[in-house]
Amino acid sequence: MKKRYLLLSFVLLSSCSSKVDTSNLKIVAPTGAPAFAFYNHANSNNFETNSTPSNIVAMMNDKSDKDIVAIDTVTGIRAIQKGAPYLLASNITLGNFYIASTGNDDNKVMDEDDKIILFGENQTPDLVFHYIYGNVFDKNIEYVTNVQDAAKCLASGKNLLTGSSIDYVFVAQPVLYTILNNKNATTYSKAEIYENIQDKYKEKSDNLSLIQASIFVKNSDDSKYNKTINNFLKSLKSDITSVINNPNLMDNTIGKLETEVATSLYGANYQMVKKVIEDDNSLGLGYIKAIDNKKAIDNFISLFGMDETNEEIYFK
Amino acid sequence: MKKSISNKIIYYFIGIILLIGVWFLLSFLIGEGTMIFPNPIDTFKEMVNILSKKYIYKCIGSSIFRMVIGFLISIIFAIIFGLLAGNSEKIKTILIPLLATLKSIPTASLVFLFLVLVGSKNAPILLVILISFPILYESVVGGIENIDKNVIDATKVDGGNFIRRVLAVQLPLSFSYILVGISSSFGLAFKIEIMAEILTGDTRSGLGSAILATQKNDPTNMIPIFAYSLIAIIFILIISLVSNLLRKRISN
């Protein structure tokens, strides 16, 4: 009997050792929507976030210890094209852009005479907006630096820099949710979502999805390492699918952290993010294997004047 | 003497009241409630709320820890190079371009380099070293150059090697100068630490990280940012006060 137990223990132990351990992989993600894809890693020492995306690109180099890098797709592909030793593995944020009306527009239809706020001139929001709407609205577009400034415009109903009244604001989740539910905002109960940019983008692109953030993995010839990466990606896919269906899963991970620590690590209050996901996944979380989504990726990067991607940059 | 001290305290409080008055005025003139320039009352209330939570003490502790590491390394380098430069005009001249570069290089441009070299957690330490080193170095050099030449000559006549002369005579005599450098750059180092945490985008605990997180979470509410900043200001004031008292006691 004793021998049997010993044999059983040996078999169990050896089966455990042959399992690929993904917990040692070092991950970095920008705060905001992409970070929440890693809700299951909230308590891991190998998971870190950074509030400045350009700082994450700086980590994509030969000496970097990061195995998994989440970053906006265009920046990541550009880094690879400049020699960063990484491969594009999957798309995890498929757009969280919206146009919100401030309630100042009398006819409630966005037209040439309306003042529109865009953030990030010549960057993703600007290029996506122009891809969808062309130059029809250019006469009355005002730019602000980032989504936080755009959010202030939505909350006040005016451009705080110029003082001009604003009718529509291009903004992203989850900050949009914060503003719409801010009782102290001047536009509270008047402001509302006017357009889902993801849907408009799909209409324009033959149903191809908008690609925001992606996962880039370290390029290696080591088959054991690549197997570990593959296992990690499988579990990430499962995590993302699960949390879209049940955002309360975050309670067991992010919810275990001190509120302020969690907000700092993820860049937003997770209780609010749960509500954003519950609202038809308007955070834009998803998981698509990059190589299977090449057409959509190529379509998206063409907005930035980039050529079609080479299959060599994909993790297969 | 006692009267002059009590007068000084009265004027100090008048200064604080004036400052709060200007703050109220600016908040009123700029308007937009909490979105741009919150008023002192809301800020003080939020500060009390923040101080009642454990998180702020972790943040202060984390910022101080990294700042002190950087500052100590900076002091060590400043003493080594300052003693060498204070005793040799040639070394001092050789170090001029390096010092000029360190003083004028934009901090932000170093962030990317340090991120690659040591990661976002430790990059603020390097920034603190580079910013406080020139100030500390100059205070060491200044201290040595202000030692009475006759004393130096006397130690040379008495014999003893360079290291002994430096450790037994020069360092103690220039100590008050070094202390001035330390006390004047300590507050600056703390400010640099907070700024570096923001620039490196680090999301682990630290005052800079806390400020960044509140700004990202709700950009329309500037009250927590002002409250965190006020905590940092009060902390730096306390540090300056303590270091000034220490300096006075040592020079007496």
Query: Domain with B215 in it: what CATH number?
Result: 1.10.3720.10
Is position A277 within any domain?
Answer: yes
Say what percent of chain A tops pLDDT 90.
76
Q: In this model, does residue A19 exceed pLDDT 60?
A: no
Q: Are residues B66 and B14 in the same domain?
A: no
CA distance B131 to chain A (A): 21
For residue B232 the two structure tokens come to 């940092």
Q: Residue A261 is nearest to which of B32, B115, B205, comparing CB atoms?
A: B205
Q: What is the pTM of this model?
A: 0.84
Q: Which residues pair with A116 in a beta bridge?
A: A141, A168
Domain boundary among A204, A231, A249: A204
CA distance B50 to chain A (A): 10
Q: Are residues B109 and B26 in the same domain?
A: no
CA distance B100 to chain A (A): 27
Q: How many distinct structural domains can be found in chain B?
A: 2
Give the pLDDT of residue B160.
Answer: 67
**In B, which residues are within 8 Å of A63 by CB distance?**
116
A98 neighbors A187 (Cβ within 8 angstroms): no
Is position A88 within any domain?
Answer: yes
pLDDT in tens, A120-168: 888 899 999 999 999 999 999 999 999 999 999 999 999 988 889 999 9
Q: Are residues B3 and B116 in the same domain?
A: no
AA letter at B244: N
Q: Are residues A58 and A184 in the same domain?
A: no
Quickly count: other Cβ atoms within 10 Å of residue A306's Cβ.
Answer: 15
Parent domain of B170: 38-251
Alpha-carbon distance of B211 to A271, in angstroms, equals: 20
Q: Are residues A113 and A91 in the same domain?
A: no
Is position A6 within any domain?
Answer: no
Q: Are residues A161 and A253 in the same domain?
A: no
CA distance B109 to chain A (A): 12
| Structural element, H or E, at residue A86 | strand A86-93
Q: Are residues A86 and A230 in the same domain?
A: yes
Q: Are residues A266 and A231 in the same domain?
A: yes
For residue B236 the two structure tokens come to 């730096």
In this structure, what CATH number is given to the domain that contains residue A104? 3.40.190.10
Distances (CA, A) of B232 to B189, B210, B211: 12, 11, 11
Q: Where are the alpha helices (DSSP H) in B88-174?
A: 89-104, 107-145, 149-158, 162-165, 171-173
Is position A16 within any domain?
Answer: no
Q: Are residues A128 and A195 in the same domain?
A: yes
Alpha-carbon distance of B162 to A13, in angstroms, equals: 65
Q: Are residues B117 and B168 in the same domain?
A: yes
Parent domain of A187: 97-204
Averaged pLDDT of chain A: 90
Alpha-carbon distance of A144 to B176, in angstroms, equals: 50
Q: Are residues B27 and B42 in the same domain?
A: no
Q: Are residues B4 and B42 in the same domain?
A: no
Alpha-carbon distance of A254 to A266, in angstroms, equals: 9
A142 neighbors A79 (Cβ within 8 angstroms): no
**In B, which residues are within 8 Å of A54 by CB distance?**
112
Q: Are residues B165 and B144 in the same domain?
A: yes
pLDDT tens for chain B, residues 1 to 252? 566 667 878 888 898 899 999 999 998 888 777 788 899 999 999 999 999 999 999 999 999 999 999 999 999 999 999 999 988 899 999 999 999 998 888 887 888 788 878 888 888 999 999 989 999 999 999 988 888 878 777 777 766 677 777 888 888 888 888 888 888 788 888 888 998 898 888 887 789 999 988 888 888 889 999 999 999 989 888 887 887 787 777 766
Domain boundary among A177, A204, A231: A204
Alpha-carbon distance of A209 to A24, in angstroms, equals: 32
Angle, to 10 degrees, between the axis of helix B207-217 and the axis of helix B223-251? 170
Give the pLDDT of residue B226.
Answer: 94
Buried b (16+ CB within 10 A) or exposed e, B92-126: beebeeebeebeeeeeeebbbebbbeebbbbbbbb
pLDDT in tens, A276-292: 999 889 999 999 999 99
Quickly count: other Cβ atoms within 10 Å of residue A37's Cβ.
Answer: 24
| Contact call for A59 and B213, based on CB within 8 A | no
One DSSP character per residue, A127-142 reads: HHHHHHHTTTTGGGEE
Is position A292 within any domain?
Answer: yes
Alpha-carbon distance of A70 to B216, in angstroms, equals: 18
Q: Are residues A120 and A135 in the same domain?
A: yes
Give the pLDDT of residue A7.
Answer: 47
Q: Are residues A168 and A38 in the same domain?
A: no
ipTM of the predicted assembly exceeds 0.85: no
Q: Are residues A122 and A137 in the same domain?
A: yes
Is position A58 within any domain?
Answer: yes
Domain boundary among A184, A204, A224: A204
Is position A3 within any domain?
Answer: no
Q: What is the dihedral of CA A126, A131, A134, A135, to 10 degrees?
A: 20
Q: How many distinct structural domains can be found in chain A?
A: 2
- Is A160's Cβ below 8 Å from some Cβ in B? yes
A167 neighbors A105 (Cβ within 8 angstroms): yes
Is position A14 within any domain?
Answer: no
Q: Are residues B78 and B27 in the same domain?
A: no
The residue of B120, B199, B207, B221 whose CB has the most chain A CBs within 10 angstroms, and thus the best one to mutate to test that interface, is B120
Q: Are residues B217 and B200 in the same domain?
A: yes
B70 neighbors B129 (Cβ within 8 angstroms): yes
AA letter at A82: K
Q: Are residues B181 and B130 in the same domain?
A: yes
